[in-house]
Amino acid sequence: MELKQAVGIKAAEYIKDGMIVGLGTGSTAYYFVEEIGRRMKEEGLQIVGVTTSNRTQQQAEGLGIPLKSVDDVERIDVTVDGADEISDDFQGIKGGGGAHLYEKIVADASERVIWIVDESKMVTKLGAFPLPVEVVKYGSKQVFKRLEEKGYHPVFRTQEDQTLYLTDEGNYIIDLHLGVIENPVAMGAELDQMVGVVEHGLFLNRVHTVLIGTSDGVITKEANR
């Protein structure tokens, strides 16, 4: 069993009857959603899911998982999602799959957030993974120019056919190739204040539990939020 599958299955053990569950997006979260579907079919588990992308919605519907919009629930008991990088102090970069806006909305409505990753995603400092910045179409080149002037090495994300990537909300993504982010809090605050930016992929002080798939099994780390 590959590491992503093992950690996805482990995360499903946190899910109990009656929970409202945030269903993450990405290659690791995929296995978590699959295991939830299996438990519902074979064990009679009863939950309601809140999805973080159109892709996850389609997967969940195919598995027969009942769904509600984030706007139709008072709270989410637990959200399980992947991450592209997690630093030693439990800060994260997400959005490699372009779903970070929805993922952040769902995370902020959750009482508990669990990230599931393989050991390659654990880093000392964030930044080797490009930081996604979601921007509205109008004025996107102006935002790009400002990011370029700051030395953030921006690149518009494209699809396989080289057309500009579109998020589920119909926005563009500019990936920042930073190398190392020395102060993620300051970087996040700067991007939050930039006109035209919808959301960025820095997930700061948002995770409670990290499950890490290793060759020796799944390791659990608590962020003590």
Residue 91: CB partners within 8 Å, gap ≥ 6? 126, 184, 202, 203, 204, 205
Of the listed 103, 148, 169, 182, which one is catalytic? 103
Helix 29-43 × helix 3-11 angle, to 10°:
50
Which burial class, exposed, middle or buried, applies to 118 when counting CB atoms under 10 A from its CB (0-12, 13-18, 19+)?
Answer: buried
Q: Are 207 and 194 in contact (CB under 8 A)?
A: no
Reported as type and span, the H/E element at residue 63 is helix 54-63
- Catalytic (active site) residue 103: yes
Catalytic (active-site) positions: 103
